[in-house]
């Protein structure tokens, strides 16, 4: 099949997944409620303790980019769970009987999850505005920050797609993903400045790609560290977070797009 046909089929599969969200609104409700709770809890429960001089106001601006990054990364797990669920219910077998490109299933699945992340980011942005977060740069810079978040999440969704076909059980996919993604998003600059971490964890966090995408979003939205005396980042990754994020996303896509397609062929040939 031609590339145009594969893309067309992928858009149809993406539409099917979005219609599924419309028919099961609980999916989007619970996906958005979790980050809203994180914003409110961290902003008002921990904000005053972390940013004692500013009363939590500076921390709230610092926090939102971290919540953005954490949420889109966790949102990528929907890809793996959705594919595992489709395999379990036999929907993939129905796709095999149709005159469509095999790669369209994975492309459509990951594309629809980008749309889901856009909705979640809009809801979180509005919540952030309510608690005091502001964009202090230009519209173009802020838009680039959001695009980097979506690019990073899209790359992670291909990792989750591969996992979802290796472990065809939505529950196992969620549990396995949580064990990896949870420490990645917390041992980073998502919720606390890096200078507060002990030595080995600080070194790991400096090169953690989640730290880079968070730092990129922060810089592009103009949200500084709440501690004005904090030292500047010393690692290349955090000095150039936009480039580091794009490099990570490119490497992940180059590895896991072929791996996922190969695993899809193996999974559907059983």
Q: In a 3-state reduction of DSSP, which class is residue 251?
A: helix
Q: Scan for tokens 């420490």, then name that residue.
A: 183
Dist CA 171 CA 241 (whole Å): 34
Name the pTM for this structure: 0.89
Do 217 and 146 touch, CB atoms closer than 8 A?
A: yes
Tokens of 210: 């989640």
The structural domain count of the chain equals 1
Tally DSSP H helices, then E strands, for the chain.
13, 0
Maximum distance among all Cα pairs of the chain, rounded to whole angstroms: 64
How far from each other are the two terminal CA atoms of the chain, in whole angstroms? 23
pLDDT in tens, the chain (270 residues): 566 766 777 777 777 777 776 666 666 666 777 778 888 887 777 766 665 555 567 778 888 899 999 988 888 888 888 887 777 777 776 777 767 777 788 888 888 888 888 888 988 888 888 888 888 999 999 999 999 999 999 999 999 888 888 876 777 777 778 888 888 998 999 888 888 788 888 999 999 999 999 999 999 998 877 666 677 788 899 999 999 999 999 999 999 999 998 888 877 665
Question: Residue 40 belongs to what domain range?
Answer: 3-268
How many CA atoms, within 13 angstroms, populate the side-chain half-sphere of residue 167? 16
**Tokens found for residue 79:** 């890809």
């Amino acid at each position: 099949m031609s590339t145009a046909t594969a893309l067309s089929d992928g858009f149809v599969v993406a539409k099917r997944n979005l219609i599924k969200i419309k028919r099961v609104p609980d999916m989007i409700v619970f996906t958005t409620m979790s980050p809203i709770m994180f914003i409110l809890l961290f902003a008002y429960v921990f904000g005053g303790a972390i940013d004692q001089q500013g009363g939590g106001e500076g921390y709230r601006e610092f926090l939102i980019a971290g919540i953005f990054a954490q949420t889109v990364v966790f949102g990528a797990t929907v890809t793996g769970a959705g594919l595992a669920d489709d395999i379990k219910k036999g929907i993939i077998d129905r796709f095999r009987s149709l005159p469509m490109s095999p790669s369209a299933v994975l492309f459509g699945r990951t594309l629809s999850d980008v749309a889901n992340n856009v909705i979640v980011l809009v809801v979180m942005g509005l919540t952030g505005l309510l608690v005091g977060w502001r964009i202090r740069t230009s519209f173009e810079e802020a838009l680039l920050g959001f695009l980097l978040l979506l690019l990073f999440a899209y790359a992670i969704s291909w990792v989750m797609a591969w996992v979802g076909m290796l472990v065809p059980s939505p529950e196992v996919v969620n549990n396995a993903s949580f064990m990896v993604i949870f420490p990645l998003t917390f041992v980073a600059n998502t919720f606390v400045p890096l200078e507060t971490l002990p030595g080995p964890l600080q070194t790991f966090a400096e090169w953690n790609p989640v730290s880079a995408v968070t730092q990129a979003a922060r810089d592009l939205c103009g949200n500084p560290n709440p501690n004005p005396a904090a030292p500047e980042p010393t690692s290349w990754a955090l000095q150039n977070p936009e480039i580091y994020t794009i490099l990570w996303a490119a490497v992940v896509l180059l590895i896991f797009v072929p791996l996922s397609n190969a695993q899809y062929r193996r999974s559907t040939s059983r």
